């Protein structure tokens, strides 16, 4: 296997001045037409620190199958720790750089549902695959998409889990863009129908901006290349497993 392994460059969530809630409202039903039903994406680019616990509580009250936070969170307070603990549905991402684990604050790790590593296999200068697992500290730890499905519906995907070969990369089909998923604006979390959109789903929280440190180069099935947010890599990787199972990278 000649594929090169790189680690995602994570950016600590910077809680800045504006929530980005412009008061914009839309018909929730319009978001669902043509969207990928099992996965919802929520951007937290401009979220203030004090708003994240409320967001997690609101999402958790809608009974999603799992909430995966696809960025690192270094600054926490008691309200955030409490909301993660009470949710019982939050997965955290982490990466390994120079044989060192880079992850969210340790207090969040202790109260979260679990964690999944987020390293990807490259083909040339583009992301091509996702490792099933990594070996660190003498133990096997699974990637974020695998960990998501283990909590989303373990019984349904038991056959998939039995196929897992540690350290093997599998193919990611980059077929969907942000607009193909159900992208929920944080202002829409106040909608009376929000739980209709989130119940039973995999909810991914992450950055959606197009800054170089937050995007990676991919090649879509059309042959077109583009830089996409890292949350979209997780979404496409998880969707590949949902639709096709494990397809080993050539």
Coil, helix or strand at residue 205 = strand
CB atoms under 10 Å from CB of 56, counted, come to: 23
CA distance 164 to 207: 29
Entry pTM = 0.82
Q: Reduced to 3 states, what is the DSSP secondary structure of residue 237?
A: helix
Instruction: Parse the chain into domains and list their residue ranges.
Output: 4-20+27-244
Per residue of the chain (250 residues), give pLDDT as tens.
333 333 333 333 323 222 233 333 333 333 344 466 699 999 988 777 788 999 999 999 999 999 999 989 988 999 999 999 999 999 999 988 877 889 999 999 999 999 998 878 888 889 998 888 887 777 788 899 999 999 998 888 887 778 888 788 898 999 898 889 999 998 899 999 999 999 999 999 999 888 888 899 999 888 889 999 999 999 999 999 888 888 888 7
Cα–Cα distance for residue pair 6/188, rounded to 1 Å: 35
């Amino acid at each position: 296997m000649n594929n090169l392994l790189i680690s995602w460059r994570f950016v600590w969530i910077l809680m800045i001045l504006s929530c980005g809630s412009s008061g914009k409202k839309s018909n929730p039903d319009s978001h669902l037409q043509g969207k990928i039903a099992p996965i919802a994406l929520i951007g937290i680019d401009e979220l203030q620190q004090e708003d994240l616990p409320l967001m997690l509580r609101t999402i958790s009250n809608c009974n999603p199958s799992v909430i995966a936070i696809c960025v690192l969170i270094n600054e926490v307070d008691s309200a955030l720790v409490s909301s993660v603990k009470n949710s019982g549905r939050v997965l955290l991402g982490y990466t390994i750089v120079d044989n060192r684990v880079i992850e969210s604050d340790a207090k969040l790790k202790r109260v979260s549902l679990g964690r999944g590593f987020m390293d990807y296999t490259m083909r040339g200068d583009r992301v091509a695959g996702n490792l099933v697992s990594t070996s660190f500290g003498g133990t096997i730890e699974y990637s974020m998409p695998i960990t998501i499905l283990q909590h989303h519906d373990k019984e349904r995907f038991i056959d998939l889990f039995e196929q897992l070969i540690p350290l093997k990369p599998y193919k990611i089909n980059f077929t969907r863009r942000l607009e193909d998923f159900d992208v929920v604006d944080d202002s829409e979390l106040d909608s009376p129908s929000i739980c209709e959109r989130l119940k039973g789903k995999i909810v991914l929280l992450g950055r959606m901006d197009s800054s170089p440190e937050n995007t990676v180069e991919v090649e879509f099935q059309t042959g077109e290349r583009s830089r996409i947010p890292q949350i979209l890599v997780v979404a496409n990787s998880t969707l590949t497993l949902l639709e096709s199972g494990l397809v080993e990278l050539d």
